[in-house]
Every structure is written in C-alpha cells, then in structure tokens.
Amino acid sequence: METAPQKLEMFYEGKAKKLYATSDPDLVICYFKDDATAFNAKKRGTIEDKGVINNRMSELFFRLLEGQGVKTHFVRRLNEREMLCKRLEIIPVETVVRNIVAGSMAKRLGLEEGRELPSPVVEYYYKSDPLDDPLIYPEHAIMFGWASAGEIEAIRSLALNVNDILRRFLDERGIILVDFKLEFGRHHGEVLLGDEICPDTCRFWDKASRRKLDKDRFRRDLGDVEEAYQEMLRRVES
C-alpha cells in the first residue's frame, strides 16, 4: 500500500463534495457526499450511498480515460468515499457535450427529448451559482479572462475525446451516453480533467428500454433513484 499524504483542513464544500488539503501541497482529498441537489440547490435531498457509487464510478472512468491518454486530476481512490486528486486551479467554465437532445437543450430550443444529434455539440456555461450557470459563448470565457484561447481549444478537444471514449465504452455495456458535464483546471500550467464523472453529471439511458439511469430520476421525481445508480455501477464494472 502506498502511503497517503496526511489529511488536513477542509477548504471547500460544494453541493456534492468536500475538498481537504493534504500534507502535500500538490494533492487534495475529495470526499463524496450523499447530498443531492437540483436546479441550483432549489431542490434538495439525499441519495443513499451516492457518494460511494460516484467515487467508484469516477475512479473507473478516470482510469479508462487515463489509459487512453486523457490527463485527469485522478491519483487514486483512498476508500469508499475519498479520492486522492491533483490540486487544480478550477477554470470557471462548465463544458457540456451532447449526443442526444435532452434537458436544458430540449427546453431552451423547444425540442423533443431523444432526438439524436448528427454530431456531438459542445456547450460552455459560466460556473456561477448566483447567476445559475448561464450558457456562454467560448469567446466570453476568453474576453473575461476565465480561460485563454489555447485553454478553450484544449478543453473542446479533450471534451470531444472524452465523449468518444465514454460513448464506445458505455455502448458495449448497453448504455446510451446522452450528454454530460465536465470541469477542467490548471495544474502546473497544464489543463487537466477534474471533478467527477457519474450519474450526477451525465445522462445515461438504457439502450434497450431507454430507461433513465441517472440523476434525472431525482430531478424529475421518477423514483428508484438509488436502484438506478447501483444499476449504472454494475454496468460500468462489468
């Protein structure tokens, strides 16, 4: 067993995770909570063992991506709810990749959910709770200094690469990757994929039945939320 750096003070608490400093200034410990929120925390609840599932699933996806050359903040999983990660200076831009029309895209454009897009669409949102994460043009991020032009280019190409890798992996397991959100950050000048990849941050539909196996079950009060998270973990572990 490798020795983990010592866990120090909590320096950030988000809606789903807590971040702790460690004795190594380059590393942080990410703790996954069971708290679930939607619509910028206007809806709140708990999804039992969500933290355990999201930690494990993120580990699996980060390992898969690292194996295919995508650099991420993942170092290793420490226990059921904690992951050791590289410390990032988070770029305040949330990147969404969509393969199928759903969620806010369906609502904003008056489209029916489920329509397949001819090719993936990349969207950017400004990470700001007071503003409810507004949709932006990538030019806004560059103009306002949230990311450089080179970083936006790197983010777009990384996001599309992640989409290709995850889509293929999930397709083999009978899952449609509808859309997902990624966050990136800087670590010693390099752009790394951060945050988590799990049913909170992706839309997963069963290929055969089109049943939703993600956080939309919580957002839309569809029931069987825990069961859907467990089913997704079973699929990605298979």
φ, ψ dihedrals at 109, nearest 5°? -105, 5
> Per CB under 6 A, which of residues 105..144 are in contact with ligand TMP?
105, 133
Helix (H) or strand (E) holding 49: none
229 near ligand TMP, judged by CB under 6 A: no
Nearest residue to ligand TMP, scored by beta-carbon proximity: 103
Residue 48, helix vs strand vs coil:
coil
User: Cβ closer to ligand TMP: 108 or 188?
Assistant: 108
Shortest Å, Cβ 16 to ligand TMP: 9
Q: What is the distance in angstroms between the CA of the first residue and the CA of the last residue of the chain?
A: 25
Count Cβ atoms below 10 Å from residue 71 Cβ, excluding itself: 14
For residues 223 and 66, give the distance between their C-alpha atoms in angstroms, rounded to a whole number: 34
Whose tokens are 């993942």? That residue is 74
Whose tokens are 């809806």? That residue is 43
User: Cβ closer to ligand TMP: 17 or 181?
Assistant: 181
| CB 46 within 8 Å of CB 35 | yes
Question: Pattern 177-206, binding to ligand TMP, x per CB under 6 A?
Answer: --xxx------------------xxxx---
Shortest Å, Cβ 37 to ligand TMP: 9
228 near ligand TMP, judged by CB under 6 A: no
Shortest Å, Cβ 194 to ligand TMP: 13
82 near ligand TMP, judged by CB under 6 A: no
Chain residues that interact with ligand TMP, rule: CB under 6 A? 96, 102-105, 133, 179-181, 200-203
